[in-house]
Structure 1
Amino acid sequence: MGEVNKIRKKEIVDFMDDYLVEHIAELQLVNKGTRKVAFHNFLEELIGYLKDGLKKGEPIEIRGFGSFKKVLRKGKKGRKVKTGELVIFPDYFDIKLKVAKGFKKLLNDK
């Protein structure tokens, strides 16, 4: 596996700031609807970045949230309920999320 891509909150803010500065002239952020569109576009860009990294097999860590990793899941054998026919499911890739300790702690604090 490659080196872990670490994304910190500051980098997300910088990424969003760069995105907004780059598009502010065309968006003219004056109303809530336009800001929602800009934020939606930003999230699409960020998710695209995450998808590209995972597709290449690079683990991605977002500090304080968790880390994403591409893993190979073994195929399985199964049966169709109605016919009893044997069905073989091939190996496939999945995404594993390991949640950060601090995030888990935050959710469990009372």
Structure 2
Amino acid sequence: MARILIVEDNPANMKLAVFILERNGHQAIQALDAETGLLAARGQRPDLILMDVQLPGMDGLEATRLLKADPVTCAIPVLALTAMAMRGDEERVRAAGCDGYIAKPIDHKTLIAQVQRALTPSA
């Protein structure tokens, strides 16, 4: 189905996301930090990016800003993966250019629903 780049530094979260996506017919591309994720996005042009917000070095929101400013990657939808669930966090995620967000811990049904929504072009 879709090629999905997962940018996630936590091995358990990465394993879970890969399992869920591949189980649902998607191809998972893995990156453990923002810099590697940016290179993968530019080089492999995935259909969707799942971006952890709290990454070592450059955080996921800064990486998303760079992706959205780059003509090569600006059209790729980005869903933030975040443990942040405080008031105002959704606004910060969207202000950075994310097209949506998925709260951690990752819920199988929510992940698949959000992925399908992000991959379906709006009419």
TM-score by length of 2: 0.23
Identify, as 1 or 2, the structure richer in strand: 1
Q: Which has the larger radius of gyration?
A: 1
